[in-house]
Structure 1
Amino acid sequence: MVNFYKSILTVEMRSLIDMHAQSFSKIPGVVIIHETLNWTVVYMSERGLNQLGISLEEVCNLTNAEYYSRFFNTEDAKDYVPKIGAFLHANNKEDTLSYYQQLKFPGMDNWRWHLSSTKIFFRDKANIPVLSITVSIPIDAMHHMAVKADRLLEENNFLRNNYNNFLKLSKREKTILKEIALGKSSIEIAAELHISPTTVDTHRRNVRYKLGTKSSFEISKYARAFDLI
């Protein structure tokens, strides 16, 4: 029996959580149940509470903002939080949403990558999602996965920070950007696009000016972040 419940939970919801609580404790990860209106925690398995150094009552009394600012990297949260909202709105019975999260535990200086998967756990009589369930598993031991997650986060942050600059490019300039990132010369690009090398050079200057780039490395970052290569 779970010792603390938020008042938002109905008897039916509490019984459902109690019924599965013992199984949740055996899962090799942390189980978190959120209410979907304000996205606050209403249940967390003992493993997660121990990692965060907090009681169930304390974590359930945290607001959404307090919870995320205290334990999560807010930069990568900007990427997955909207996806969770869209997932709940779609309200598909069998769908599961997976995403990476970075958490920092008390007494630790470094972020730890986790792979989390969320599913709708309880719907009301109108079939509206009321509770979601998430299983979160650390991936630090899978070094290649952590490196990949770091790279994806870096690209997502770069995309958000430079989206307005990218919008300044014309369709032709985006094509030129892609070809530059692939290491092609003005003569090669001109032959491929059936334009003069002089025109290509003009486009190259315009691309660098609009993006504020000075190096081929920066050009490549734009091309990767915006899925041109």
Structure 2
Amino acid sequence: MITTYKSILTAEMRSLIDKHVNTFNQIPGVVIIHETENWTVVYMNERGLNQLRLSLQEVCSLTNAEYYGKFFNEDDARDYIPKIAAFMYANNREDTLSYYQQLKFPDTDNWIWHLSSTKIFMRDGADKPVLSLTISIPIDAMHHMASKADRLLEENNFLRNNYESFSKLSKREKTILREMALGKSSMEIAAKLYIASTTVDTHRRNIRDKLHTKSYFEISQYARAFDLI
């Protein structure tokens, strides 16, 4: 019988998990089952337990703060946690949700990127999700996807930290910001927008003042983070 978090699982839930345990342990990735009310772990396959160096009972007895605080990067968690919540709320029967996560294992200092996919594993009599199934696979640090995930996390963090400044820009200023990030001169921007180059110069100064930017790199950061380019 599977040891579960504070015995919160019903006999039906336990039976469903027991039925698939052998398969879960053959999957070349970590399998995690959460109960959906409090998002606590109620099962993890042997591969995942070995990586965490914990028993199933130890994992399931951790509080959410202990589990997520110890092993997961809170910066990228801010991006995917709302997506998971929305996915569960939508409750679509065949859909899956994929997202990147960074994890840190015992005796290591480096975060390791994982590609995780989640789907609803079990519903109750009212057809509401009660268990979710997630498969998490590490991304080789030399693989281009790991570098891309790093860039996405950096852009998401930049967006959150600078949203207030960006929201001060007018629609016209956002248009000109995009052209600035593409390396266009004031004369080129003026010709494209059918306005005077002196007007463009004024907009450029206002943009830099509102965003507190001094370099082309900072302008490009804003344009990338806010999907202008």
Between the aligned partners of 2:216 and 2:61, the Cα distance in structure 1 is 50
Q: Structure 2 matches for 1:168-183, cutoff 5 A? A: 168-183=168-183
Between the aligned partners of 1:162 and 1:54, the Cα distance in structure 2 is 39
Match of 1:220 in 2: 220
Q: How far did 1:204 drift?
A: 0.2
Between the aligned partners of 2:141 and 2:164, the Cα distance in structure 1 is 37
Match of 2:4 in 1: 5
Between the aligned partners of 1:64 and 1:163, the Cα distance in structure 2 is 29
Match of 1:76 in 2: 76
- Asked if residue 14 in structure 1 is aligned to residue 14 in structure 2, the reply is yes
Q: Judge conservation of contact 2:112–2:141 (CA < 8 Å) in 1.
A: no
Match of 1:117 in 2: 117
Code of the aligned partner of 1:5? T
Mind listing any 5+ residue stretches in structure 2 that lack a counterpart? none
Q: Secondary structure at the match of 2:47?
A: helix
Q: How far did 1:141 drift?
A: 5.3
Q: How far did 1:31 drift?
A: 0.3
Give the superposed CA RMSD. 0.9
Q: Secondary structure at the match of 1:168?
A: coil
Distance 1:155 1:141, change over 3 A: closer
Match of 1:45 in 2: 45
Match of 1:140 in 2: 140
Tell me the number of residue pairs that the alignment of Structure 1 and Structure 2 aligns.
228
Code of the aligned partner of 1:98? S
Q: How far did 1:65 drift?
A: 1.9
Between the aligned partners of 1:174 and 1:42, the Cα distance in structure 2 is 47
Q: How far did 1:142 drift?
A: 5.4
Between the aligned partners of 2:107 and 2:83, the Cα distance in structure 1 is 30
Match of 2:199 in 1: 199
Mind listing any 5+ residue stretches in structure 1 that lack a counterpart? none
Q: Where in structure 1 do 4 or more consecutive aligned residues deviate above 3 Å?
A: none
Code of the aligned partner of 1:36? T
Q: Judge conservation of contact 2:120–2:129 (CA < 8 Å) in 1.
A: yes
Q: Secondary structure at the match of 1:169?
A: coil
Q: Which moved more, 1:142-151 or 1:75-84?
A: 142-151
Code of the aligned partner of 2:144? H
Code of the aligned partner of 2:205? R
Q: How far did 1:89 drift?
A: 0.2
**TM-score, structure 1 normalization:** 0.98
